[in-house]
Structure 1
Amino acid sequence: MRSRSILGAVVAAAVSVSVLAFAPAASAATNSFRGVNWADARDNYVDGWVIPTGLTASDSYSTVRGKADGILAGFQNLLGANTLRLPVNPQSVNSAWWASYQGAVDSALAHGMKVILSYWEANTHKDGLVDDTAAWNTMWDTITSGYGGNANVYFEPMNEPFGYSLSSWVSLCSGWLSRHSAIPRGRVLISGTGYNDNVTGVGASSALSGTLLSLHFYGFWASDTTRSAWTTNLSNRLGSYSSRTIIDEAGAPMTTGLTYTGGQNQDGNVFTAYFAATTDLTRARQMGVVYWPGLRSGDSYSITRQSGSGLAVNNASGVAQLRWGWGL
């Protein structure tokens, strides 16, 4: 997630290769992705290792795995989530931290969850471009070597590629697909242009056919207070590509006392109208949603908080509305 202050200013266990070859392409609906982001308290844009809330840099693989077991069980039991989106960067993967960090991925897989691994650029860059192409390639080589054979792991080459034009972004993604051609396209999420905010360009690209698409959508991007206005806003960003698209970041304040359920009462407030429109549309179009964030300390949007070795819900009405959007 691009920090809200900046965004507001800008826009207000392996299987054989033969099995991989027969894995399905992008499906006609994405609502099998009912997910959450597990995020670093620093917003995933970091100059070193990405360390999701609850983990520490000194954690071993077994410690990460144990902590993740409690947190992911919370995502499943309290929310009904079956998908986890995690940040990766070269500093984390091309280093000793990767041996520990994989405990979070492996925990999710052991829980039967899908995992989306997404590249985030460093905090000192934030220019919407891959920071170091060679290091980025090495990172993805390592990740796909380890998890390319697992059908529940999905790959997002870059989060919020706003520094690229449509043509240059398509070119970069085409290169990624060629380099990792053993990965079925149906397990690759291509981010929308800008701040992941529009998928019509990448959806129309024949070079990216068969891939899934990812979209980000937030209530602080506009000041509308009606569901109808927000529905139009979101629909325009999707175009005719809803069936390929997962909204892998969407969220609203969960610690400020807002009530997200209530039909007509959802109009009249920017965030309740936004969240109702988003979840109504994803339910109607059978789209996947990966909430931002499922857990992140210090973030008022976090739908859960740590409680002992597990989690507690921050806003029950928010959970109910999210589950509605998931089709539950």
Structure 2
Amino acid sequence: MKRTRVRACLRALLVAAVAVPLLAVPQQASADTNSFRGVNWADGRDNYVDGWVIPTGLASGDSYSAVKSKADGIISGFQSKLGANTVRLPINPKSVNSDWWARYKGAADSALGKGMKVIFGYWEANKDGKVDDTNAWNTMWDKVTGDYKGNGNVYFEPMNEPFGYSLNDWVSVCSGWLSRHSGISRGRVIISGTGYNDNVTGVGGASALNGTLLSLHFYGYWANDTTRAAWTTNLSNRLGSYSSRTIIDEAGAPMTTGLTYNGTAQDGNTFTAYFAATTELARSRRMGVVYWPGLRAGDSYSITRQSGAGLAVNNPSAVAQLRRGWGL
């Protein structure tokens, strides 16, 4: 997710590509992932919390009915204000292996009841890019998959940003997850790219992960380029030949600084060029995008804010460009 972490920026800059003209980027075959038009709903403290994850607008003392009621307003806002049909929700063992889970499920159930897709993604607490406690992680996923394996609109992302693992070790972790949950279709499992989810070429080429979806994260603070062409090349190199399996399930930019994201003046500014390149490439390759964040208190990237029981848009021009990327 978007956060002030220098090592993430430095690592991403090291793998950034040299720009080539936009028209030189090869087109990929049509993909199925453009059915994911989504947003992240995140904890204002950051999802890397050592405790319950509580997305903005919810409270630890909420009952199931209170969570669901609050979520109804927020989910409806994602749908009506943005056109979203997917929400990505954070989980961790302390949230699921406790009484909070029975109540927190109201958020997912609200989305599912409104016809949305739900992506459950695991965030670790130690911030070292590895599963904190394998036994607790397995218990968590046993419970989550047990509750939602019967609903085809629910997708499972074993871990967010596995930067502590080598490619081989990460493939091994994912292979173990797939074996343990073999009753779940691989098409409902989303495997994070290596590093900070910043490259899917390794996991895409791993035969042990065939049939799964892939997730990529991509942010405008990872480079200083100010042209769509340069950002398009940067993103294309991270995708390799795996666009058809990939969902960009985190991408975002400043929403409260007065930038205009749609129109003809997208080059010349790092963030407008980045956002245009990301959304246009997603549109042309028919890839899904899950914006970071749809709602998160205190985050200047949040594309909406709470307004009464619903939501208000922070940057209409960004919404227009995001919707274009979604193919709307």
| Partner Cα distance (1:48, 1:222) in 2 | 33
> What aligned pairs does 1:117-196 form with structure 2 within 5 A after superposition?
117-122=120-125, 125-196=126-197
C-alpha displacement of 1:165: 0.3
What is the TM-score when the length of structure 1 is the normalising length? 0.94
Distance 2:10 2:314 in 1: 28
- Aligned partners of 2:299, 2:102: CA distance in 1, in Å? 28
What's 1:317 paired with?
A: 317
Query: Structure 1 counterpart of 2:219, which letter?
Result: Y
Distance in 2, matches of 1:293 and 1:28, equals: 24
**2: distance between equivalents of 1:192 and 1:216?**
8
Name the CA distance, whole Å, in 1 between partners of 2:2 and 2:140: 22
Partner of 2:82: 79
Secondary structure in structure 1 of the residue aligned to 2:33: coil
2:286 pairs with 1:286? yes
Deviation (angstroms), 1:3: 1.8
2:246 aligned partner, one-letter code: T
Q: CA deviation at 1:2?
A: 5.2
Deviation at 1:80, TM superposition (A): 0.2
1:30 and 1:11 map into 2 onto residues whose CA distance is 24
Task: State how 1:216-235 maps to structure 2 within 5 Å.
Answer: 216-235=217-236
* TM-score (normalizing by structure 2): 0.94
Please list every run of 5 or more consecutive structure 2 residues that lacks an aligned counterpart in the other structure. 14-29
Runs (4+) of structure 1 exceeding 2 A deviation are 4-12
Q: How does 1:221-260 map to 2 (within 5 A)?
A: 221-260=222-261
Deviation, 1:43, is: 1.4
Query: What is the aligned length?
Result: 311
CA distance in structure 2 between the aligned counterparts of 1:5 and 1:206, rounded to whole angstroms = 32
Report the residue type matching 2:262 in the other structure. T
SS of residue paired to 1:311: strand
Give the residue type in structure 2 aligned to 1:59.
D
Q: d(CA) in 2 for partners of 1:61 and 1:222? A: 42
Residue 308 of structure 1 corresponds to 308
Residue 109 of structure 2 is matched in structure 1 by 106
1:238-296 per-residue CA deviation (whole Å, 9 max, x = no partner) reads: 00000000000000000000000112x10000000000000000000000000000000
Alignment partner, residue 274 of structure 1: 274
1:148-184: per-residue Cα shift (whole Å, max 9, x none)? 1100000000000000000000000000000000000
